[in-house]
Structure 1
Amino acid sequence: GICTDSLGHIFVADSINGRVDMFTSRGEFPIVFGGGGTSRGKLGSSSGVAVSADNEIFVAEWSNQRVQVFNMNGDSLRLFKTVVPGEDGRAMYPTGLDIDKDGRIWVVGKKFFAGRAILMFKPNGSFAGSFGKQEGAQLQYATTDKDGNILVTDISRSRVHVYDHNGQYSFSFDTVRGTSRGKLGVASGVAVSADNEIFVAEWNNQRVQV
């Protein structure tokens, strides 16, 4: 996962090394934090990263089944498990996350016991809702736009699903997998510009389509 903050810093979640790398807008490399592990301050398969309006850094940890929050110095502030209520306390394996205009954290992940889903949390880590249980979907990464809509990539069906700010399904970019313009390969990443242009990273086509 990758994201930016209001100052132009670039944050990259390094899942192999279990860390987050922070770069300046000039590409300088001032801070690395995390490191593989399960204790507080360590990161397990850091798969997604997002920065809040308060400059708190939220990191999704696949193998630790949690989200951990850091300050700009790389100090751990708090963490919370991606537990799915009503599922006997079983936790989701998070693959990506983003923060909407109201400060809510939307976490995309895999539940081996019931497919993939999206969970919503408040900034303090308390659970606020879940959605996105589409049959056969493999939801991978999420982003939000300036209106609060949530866009999620579905790598199994080469689609981008769109939900409103309440988590209600709106529509999908429903395409047949392909290489021509307008078709999507493995839709692995998604971002929305200030002009509401949607950028989709296609893993197997080795390109970004707008």
Structure 2
Amino acid sequence: MNNVKNFFRYTLLLTFLLGAAVLSGCVTTPKPADNEEAVFFPDPPAAPRLQFLRSFTTSDDLEPGADAFDSFLTGDANKGYHLVKPYGVAIKDGKLYVCDSQATVVVFDLKNKKFHTMEGAKGLGKVVQPLNISLDDQANKFVADPVRGQVLMYDNKDFYVKSFGVPGQWKPVDAAAYDGLLYVVDAKEREIKVFDIASGEKIRSLGRDNKPEENLGLPTGITIDADGLLYISDSGRFQVVVYDRDGHQRNAIGRPGANLGHFARPRGVATDRDGRVFAVDAAFENVQIFRNDGQLLLFFGGSGTGPGKLFLPADVFIDYDNMEYFRQDADPNFDIEYLVFVTSQFGQRLVNVYGFGKEKGRTYPSEEELVEKAEQKLKQWQKESK
């Protein structure tokens, strides 16, 4: 029992070393802007890597002062809109797209300070249960709808273009586009179906023809990094499975369990430009960040009701191009490199926005240095535990 307790303490220390980057000497944390308390991850006195910036739950968060009574007077059904059960999220050109899974796809237009439903999500493009949304390089949107049984494509103006797949024959829950192809997670057949975007035709399937231990179990989410590797969250394997575009397994991140670096209910997954992997776990109610070799770096979020906390999180999305809309929310002593969006399906803060970066004037060790230090601590712990 003592060894188990010691191991748990060490695991916490390991993550502290990897994620916190605590330096020797007296170092102050960033001062909150406008005398409001800023929320950072990891907690002080650790060196911060993420700041919670703000959240979106109703149209009022974009248009202050709008409420249900205003909606009644003006006849605008979009005013006072409250997200019901958000899941997928994406942002492009100042427009924040949210799959409200029990309603439709809604748009927070940050540039024009307007809120509306997505233009093409009606008529032939009507969604039934929009679960996840993804983008390609041309700003086309792909919405996975498992109840309609199709992935719906909308153009850069949000107008409906086409649908992929035959209703009733599969269960599409997420999709990612790369180099003219659309990779779709089919939760029914437990595989990745690959479509040609131009023709709409299915060309192959991945994830069922490997060694048994390398096949997909219950895939729930997908993203594709800059090198074309597929990162698939798998609730059956309790891992993030990494495939090449031919379906060969390159890596598997995490394992089942209730400790740091483990998964219980993996959901959304995203990667940044430096190869870090962000993986949502709905059971732990956090997002764990790994190196692409599977080494845990840190985690953020966690259960609770305060700012930055998560309640049954679902999806994560990383963006480098829309920071201008959130700079006023950032601490002046914290340099943001990119934005991280995480949806909660319940609670007071449903679409949560974080900034990933570093404190100004603070020296951060490299990840390699942190890993080496953690490994030295591990050897010391192993020696002392004998």
Q: Give TM-score scaled by structure 1 length.
A: 0.87
Q: Is the CA contact (8 Å cut-off) linking 2:253 and 2:293 kept in structure 1?
A: no
* TM-fit CA distance, 1:90: 6.1
Q: Does structure 2 conserve the Cα–Cα contact (< 8 Å) formed by 1:82 and 1:92?
A: no
Distance in 2 (CA, whole Å) between partners of 1:101 and 1:134 is 28
8 Å contact from structure 1 (residues 117, 133) kept in 2: yes
Per residue, is there more strand in 1 or in 2? 1
- Which residue of structure 1 aligns with residue 306 of structure 2? 180
C-alpha distance after superposition, 1:58-83 (max 9, x if no partner): 00111101001111131112111257
**In structure 2, what is the Cα distance between the partners aligned to 1:63 and 1:193?**
30
Q: Deviations over 1:154-197 (max 9, x none)?
A: 1001100111122222111152x223212111111100111521
**Higher fraction of helix:** 2
Counterpart residue number, 2:249: 127
Indicate the residue corresponding to 2:163 in structure 1. Answer: 32
Matching residue within 344, 347, 355 for 1:202 = 344
| 8 Å contact kept, 2:219–2:234 | yes
User: 2:160, 2:257 → 1: CA distance?
Assistant: 42
Deviates more, 1:129-138 or 1:62-71: 129-138
Aligned length: 199
Aligned to 2:332: none
Q: Secondary structure at the match of 1:209?
A: strand
CA distance in 1, matches of 2:171, 2:204: 18
Partners of 2:184 and 2:273 lie apart in 1 by 21
- The answer on whether the counterparts of 1:149 and 1:162 sit within 8 Å (CA) in structure 2 is yes
Alignment of 1:38-53 (within 5 A): 38=169, 44-52=170-178
Is the Cα contact below 8 Å between 1:82 and 1:93 reproduced in 2? no
Cα distance between partner residues in 2 of 1:207 and 1:130? 29
Distance in 1 separating the partners of 2:141 and 2:167: 21
Which residue number corresponds to residue 265 of structure 2?
138
Deviations 1:31-81 (A, max 9, x none): 11102355xxxxx211111111x1211001111010011111311121112
Gaps of 5+ in 1: 39-43
User: Which is worse superposed, 163-172 or 54-63?
Assistant: 163-172
Distance in 2 separating the partners of 1:33 and 1:86: 28
Task: Give the root-mean-square deviation of aligned CA atoms.
Answer: 1.9
Which residue of 1 is the match for residue 276 of structure 2? 149
Cα offset, 1:91, TM superposition = 3.9
Query: 21-30 or 177-186, which moves further after superposition?
Result: 177-186
Match of 1:93 in 2: 218
Q: Which structure 2 residue ranges, 5 or more long, are not aligned?
A: 1-131, 259-263, 321-336, 354-386
The TM-score, its normalising length taken from structure 2, stands at: 0.49
Task: Judge conservation of contact 1:82–1:94 (CA < 8 Å) in 2.
Answer: no
Give the distance between the partners of 2:211 and 2:250, measured in 1 at CA: 10
Identity among equivalent positions (%) equals: 25
Q: Which residue of 1 aligns with 2:134?
A: 3
Cα distance in 2 for partners of 1:80, 1:6 equals: 23
